Amino acid sequence: MSKLPQPDNKSLSVLHAATEVFLQHGFSAATTDMIQRAAGVSKATVYSRYANKEALFAAVVEDKCATFTQRVQQLEVKPGNIRKVLEDIGHTYLTILLSDEALAMHRVVLAEAAKFPHLAHGFYQAGPATMSAIVSGLLEVAAEAGEINVQSVGLEGAASLFMGMVRGEPQLIALTHPGSQASEVQINQWVTRAVDTFLKAYGTELSD
């Protein structure tokens, strides 16, 4: 993805306005005129910072994905309680995925993927791929401590499997039932089920 412009006040105003417009109207229906009006700036200001609508959308995707992934990256992992580590990762990850902004972003990207595959690819790299790499790094601490054994699938494979178990049903329900909201009890149940399944497959005696 292209490098984001320097975050001066007007750039941030345009970026925040673009986020609101794209998530509400989608990429195809959104126009730079809408974004300009929402940001309260001139069209020249928009184009001086972002070359076109695609560059604006790429910047929005990169900005939101960075915000999402940072929350998982900030988790503290200490050897000795892999169950809690997995629960913390799963709960944080699932809470992000089920947020209104994340669901809206997924809907917009999926709706435009066939027409604009490079934008969808940019989203995948900035979001899911980056998140998987972060989770892989967190699992590496547990693997080095002997709490999990993921040699059969590798760290990246283990991260992908765990994340897939966490998001599978909850995200599908949320995407296909607009307006529904999972309770904290439901989120905890989904995460616990994923953690139990993961540890049954890759946990060691140290994880019991």
Q: Is residue 154 part of a domain?
A: yes
Q: CB 177: neighbour CB atoms within 10 A? A: 10
Q: Tell me the whole-structure pTM to 2 decimals.
A: 0.87
Q: Is residue 104 part of a domain?
A: yes
Say which amino acid occupies 121. H
Q: Is residue 173 part of a domain?
A: yes
**Is the Cα torsion angle 201, 146, 83, 75 positive or negative in sign?**
negative
- Three-state DSSP class for residue 48: helix
CATH classification of the domain holding 114: 1.10.357.10
Q: Is residue 68 part of a domain?
A: yes
Where does 152-203 have alpha helices with state H?
Answer: 154-176, 184-202
63-117 pLDDT, tens digit each: 999 999 999 999 988 888 999 999 999 999 999 999 999 999 999 999 999 999 9
Mean pLDDT of the chain, nearest integer:
91
Q: Is residue 103 part of a domain?
A: yes
Domain that holds residue 120: 60-207
117-141 pLDDT, tens digit each: 999 999 999 999 999 999 999 999 9
Q: Is residue 30 part of a domain?
A: no
What is the distance, to the nearest Å, from the Cα of residue 81 to the centroid of all Cα atoms in its chain?
Answer: 25
Looking at the structure of the chain, the number of domains it has is 1
Q: Is residue 123 part of a domain?
A: yes
Q: Is residue 18 part of a domain?
A: no
